Amino acid sequence: MKFAHQFATAVFIASTLSLAGCASTPTKESAGEYIDDAALTTKVKASIFNEPSLKSTEINVETFKGTVQLSGFVAQPADITRAGEIARGVKGVKEVKNDIRVK
Protein backbone atom coordinates (compact mmCIF):
# COMPACT_ATOMS: atom_id res chain seq x y z
CA MET A 1 0.00 0.00 0.00
CA LYS A 2 2.88 2.35 0.78
CA PHE A 3 4.25 1.84 -2.74
CA ALA A 4 0.86 2.72 -4.29
CA HIS A 5 0.70 5.94 -2.27
CA GLN A 6 4.25 6.91 -3.29
CA PHE A 7 3.49 6.08 -6.92
CA ALA A 8 0.30 8.17 -6.86
CA THR A 9 2.21 11.06 -5.29
CA ALA A 10 4.93 10.81 -7.93
CA VAL A 11 2.37 10.79 -10.75
CA PHE A 12 0.62 13.81 -9.25
CA ILE A 13 3.87 15.77 -8.97
CA ALA A 14 4.93 14.85 -12.51
CA SER A 15 1.57 15.86 -13.98
CA THR A 16 1.58 19.14 -12.05
CA LEU A 17 5.06 19.97 -13.31
CA SER A 18 4.15 19.10 -16.89
CA LEU A 19 1.10 21.37 -16.75
CA ALA A 20 3.21 24.18 -15.33
CA GLY A 21 5.45 23.87 -18.39
CA CYS A 22 2.44 24.67 -20.60
CA ALA A 23 1.30 27.66 -18.58
CA SER A 24 1.97 31.17 -19.69
CA THR A 25 3.91 33.83 -17.82
CA PRO A 26 4.03 37.58 -18.46
CA THR A 27 6.95 37.07 -20.86
CA LYS A 28 6.23 33.56 -22.19
CA GLU A 29 3.19 32.25 -24.03
CA SER A 30 1.56 28.91 -23.43
CA ALA A 31 1.40 26.49 -26.36
CA GLY A 32 -2.25 27.39 -26.97
CA GLU A 33 -1.55 31.13 -26.87
CA TYR A 34 1.32 30.68 -29.32
CA ILE A 35 -0.97 28.94 -31.81
CA ASP A 36 -3.70 31.57 -31.32
CA ASP A 37 -1.17 34.36 -31.83
CA ALA A 38 0.19 32.73 -34.98
CA ALA A 39 -3.36 32.56 -36.35
CA LEU A 40 -3.99 36.21 -35.45
CA THR A 41 -0.75 37.27 -37.13
CA THR A 42 -1.79 35.42 -40.28
CA LYS A 43 -5.27 36.99 -40.26
CA VAL A 44 -3.89 40.51 -39.75
CA LYS A 45 -1.29 40.05 -42.51
CA ALA A 46 -3.98 38.77 -44.88
CA SER A 47 -6.26 41.70 -44.06
CA ILE A 48 -3.47 44.20 -44.65
CA PHE A 49 -2.52 42.39 -47.88
CA ASN A 50 -6.12 42.70 -49.09
CA GLU A 51 -6.08 46.48 -48.59
CA PRO A 52 -5.06 47.89 -51.99
CA SER A 53 -3.82 51.20 -50.55
CA LEU A 54 -1.17 49.50 -48.37
CA LYS A 55 2.09 47.86 -49.39
CA SER A 56 1.88 44.81 -47.18
CA THR A 57 5.50 43.83 -47.87
CA GLU A 58 6.68 46.89 -45.94
CA ILE A 59 4.51 46.25 -42.86
CA ASN A 60 5.60 43.72 -40.23
CA VAL A 61 3.09 42.03 -37.94
CA GLU A 62 3.91 40.29 -34.66
CA THR A 63 1.48 39.07 -32.00
CA PHE A 64 2.01 38.28 -28.33
CA LYS A 65 -0.91 37.22 -26.12
CA GLY A 66 -3.46 38.84 -28.43
CA THR A 67 -1.60 42.15 -28.73
CA VAL A 68 -0.62 42.89 -32.32
CA GLN A 69 2.46 45.00 -32.98
CA LEU A 70 2.77 46.67 -36.35
CA SER A 71 6.09 48.01 -37.58
CA GLY A 72 7.71 49.01 -40.84
CA PHE A 73 7.45 51.94 -43.20
CA VAL A 74 4.70 53.45 -45.32
CA ALA A 75 4.48 56.35 -47.75
CA GLN A 76 1.78 58.43 -46.03
CA PRO A 77 0.59 59.09 -42.47
CA ALA A 78 -2.91 57.94 -43.45
CA ASP A 79 -1.46 54.49 -44.19
CA ILE A 80 -0.35 54.19 -40.55
CA THR A 81 -3.89 54.88 -39.38
CA ARG A 82 -5.42 52.53 -41.95
CA ALA A 83 -3.14 49.61 -41.00
CA GLY A 84 -4.04 50.08 -37.32
CA GLU A 85 -7.75 50.14 -38.14
CA ILE A 86 -7.45 46.95 -40.16
CA ALA A 87 -5.56 45.17 -37.37
CA ARG A 88 -8.11 46.28 -34.75
CA GLY A 89 -10.89 44.92 -36.95
CA VAL A 90 -9.56 41.36 -36.89
CA LYS A 91 -11.55 39.16 -34.52
CA GLY A 92 -9.48 38.10 -31.52
CA VAL A 93 -7.11 41.09 -31.50
CA LYS A 94 -7.07 42.52 -27.98
CA GLU A 95 -4.81 45.52 -28.59
CA VAL A 96 -2.74 47.07 -31.37
CA LYS A 97 0.63 48.75 -30.90
CA ASN A 98 1.28 50.69 -34.05
CA ASP A 99 4.98 51.46 -34.57
CA ILE A 100 4.76 52.04 -38.33
CA ARG A 101 6.70 55.08 -39.55
CA VAL A 102 6.52 57.26 -42.66
CA LYS A 103 9.63 56.92 -44.80
Nearest to 62 by CA among 26, 21, 95: 95
- 86 is a domain residue: yes
Which residues form the domain of 46? 30-102
- 15 is a domain residue: no
pLDDT at 26: 59
pTM: 0.70
User: CATH number, domain at 50?
Assistant: 3.30.1340
DSSP string, 53-65: TS-GGGEEEEEET
Q: What are the pLDDT tens digits along the chain (103 aa)?
A: 555 555 555 555 655 555 445 555 656 667 666 678 999 999 999 999 999 989 888 999 999 999 999 999 999 999 999 999 999 999 999 999 999 999 8
Distance CA 93, CA 90 (A): 6
- 16 is a domain residue: no
Q: Are 66 and 87 in contact (CB under 8 A)?
A: no
Q: Which helix (H) or strand (E) holds 21?
A: helix 2-22
84: left (phi over 0), alpha (psi -120 to 50) or beta: alpha
- 21 is a domain residue: no
pLDDT at 97: 98
- 89 is a domain residue: yes
Number of domains making up the chain: 1
pLDDT at 56: 81
